[in-house]
A and B are shown apart, each in its own frame.
Chain A
Amino acid sequence: MKKFLLLVVACVLVFTGCKKQDIKHSSDDVGSSVEIVAFTDEPSLRGGSEKDININTVYFDFDKSDLTSDSMETLKKNAAYLASNSDIKVVVEGHTDNRGTIEYNLSLGQRRALKVKEYYTQLGVVANRIATTSYGKEKPVDPENNELSWRKNRRAETRILVRQK
């Protein structure tokens, strides 16, 4: 019994230790086994996307998703451009270098995209104009296997959505 209690406490610690500033409705989901979870997600922006010369890519350190001060400067300029072009919707694509496994890198790329989106919203861009996605290591700009190309590949691109007819 004691062991069981300890385990329960451990589980709770593990879970709460993980939670940061998480989302309102999520507490209802935990433990409910068959309930259908409500859809409260970001916009689905999945037409074709393209680069806009006024929006720049930001880069990350190895295995990191924190924004560097350089990245923040770039994102501020991007956000200003988005503010003056309020009809543009964007997809933030997270990418990684080719070190590490496919699955982990997909998640790492997603976390990078999310960090960029969070910063955009802090800068006043409305969240429903921004979608996030990740390519992990699947879409390198430079396929070479050296420090220089790795640096180029660890990135988040803000791409504008191409309206579909």
Chain B
Amino acid sequence: MNLNIINKIMKNFFLFVFMILFFVDVVCAQSDVYLSLSLCATGKRSDIAIEYFTVICKNDNTTRFAKLLKEVIENDLIFSRYFNILQGVPENSELDFKERLLWWEKQGASVLLTGSVSGEDDNIILEVKMFDVITGETIWKQKYKKESLSYRYMAHEVSDEVVRRFTGEIGIARSKIVFVNNGTRFKELYIIDYDGYNLRRLTKDNKINILPKWSPDGEQIIYTSYLYNNPDLFVLSLTKNRRSIISKYQGLNVTGSFSPDGKKILLTLSRGRYPNLYLINTSGEILQRMTDGSCIDTSPSFAPNGQEIVFISDRPGYPQLYIMNIDGGNVRRLTTSGFCDSPVWSPRGDKIAFTMRQARGNYDLYVYDLPTAKITKLTNNQRNNENPTWSPDGRFVAFYSNRSGKGEVYIMAIDGSGIRKLAEVPGSSYTPSWSPVLDR
């Protein structure tokens, strides 16, 4: 053996490793300093301690809010799956701050979150502080005022900031989900916070409204409505509290997807022929016919880069997933079997979630990983699982399932774990669409 050569290789190897480490360091140093860069979607969780929120100028209101705000934040951090929440120091504990830190350190906490609530009537002020348990240093502190927004929104703001400080990723606590529910015997649109609170009805048409989809800025929802006895495309402006019709060709005007810049909409039109994909602007003018033929082409979803779309087509004889460029070129088939539908491109751009019919006739959710072309099954034969929609951070999927015997919306992590029901809502619910993070 030639030791010299081995030596050289080793030297080069170390140089290489050193350069990688250096490079990683430089890249990381450019962004904010985060508490833990190793945390990612599937990484290990951080242990965070949350103490009872203290109350300054005690009255019924502040005491109540201290409890509620802590509950909401805790819930958010648990939902985020970035954290283990540690609790334990009893309320009104006699321990001083140093002793408490020591106590938390023994419990395995790396940071401690505290809050204090002050203010009168509805003008609640929440001051949160985050401490390094070992050194006792304040890592971050901020005051939040309630003003016109709800206390839940205020708490969600805190949670999203905690997530950002820990991971550098956006938190999703200020997002909402729009869906269809038939509790009135008609199909109406409803909106709800991502954690299942603040359910609100958006339409009162006594007609069939289906397939709502958010605009990228979170200010509008497009949907298909039979208000005028034909599936027309409507837009509902949440800021102006007004709705209008965008596309009303005879026959299908079926919701597809907003372009990432919010200026264009993909939809399915029949126009007296077979259902094909079209690109329109937000005032409904057709910009481009995307597909052309006597097959069913429908369910389009934009890639986050705005350059490609995924859709289904039954050109092989049954509906399959296809990708093509926005100019109509480079058509590629992704799936090879099963009836597929409802593809949605992930916000990170690397995955497509969709539903596929199983041998026994029910539908299950899958995720297609674009870089590896690997398909992973997310749900497992619990009746039908359809219409997936991505959380704004791309780590969760909300979807329709009738596993309980009626249609309901569920949320799970993208590895299929941690399934929870969004909320208990009378009637059956369908076709959820997850908003971006909303700043109001």
Contacts and interface: CB of A to CB of B under 8 A. Distances in A.
A108 B331 CA distance: 22
Contact of B272 (A36, A106, A132): A132
A104 interface: yes
Contacts, number: 165
Q: Which bracket fits the contact residues of A?
A: 35 or more
Interface stretch (B161-169, B236-244, B290-298, B345-353): B290-298
Interface of B: 187, 208, 210-211, 226, 228-231, 248-252, 254, 268, 270-275, 285-289, 291-296, 298-299, 312-315, 319, 327-331, 339, 341-342, 355, 357, 361, 363, 386-387, 430-431
Given A20-B294, A138-B187, A104 B339 contact: yes
Given A7-B330, A46-B250, A132-B251, A101 B293 contact: no
Secondary structure of the B side of the interface? Answer: loop
A83 interface: no
A22 B293 contact: yes
A14 B431 contact: no
A17 B292 CA distance: 11
Interface string A32-53: 1111110001111111110000
Nearest to B362: A99
Interface of A: 7-8, 10-11, 14-15, 17-23, 26, 29-37, 41-49, 91, 99-104, 106-108, 110-111, 113-114, 117, 131-135, 138-139
27 contacts: A11-B329, A15-B331, A18-B292, A18-B294, A23-B273, A29-B288, A30-B292, A34-B287, A36-B286, A41-B249, A41-B271, A42-B250, A44-B230, A45-B250, A46-B230, A46-B248, A101-B363, A102-B387, A102-B430, A103-B211, A103-B298, A103-B341, A110-B270, A110-B274, A114-B272, A131-B272, A133-B231
Contacts of B250: 41-46, 131-133
Centre residue among A99, A100, A107, A113 by max chain B CB count within 10 A: A107
B251 A19 contact: no
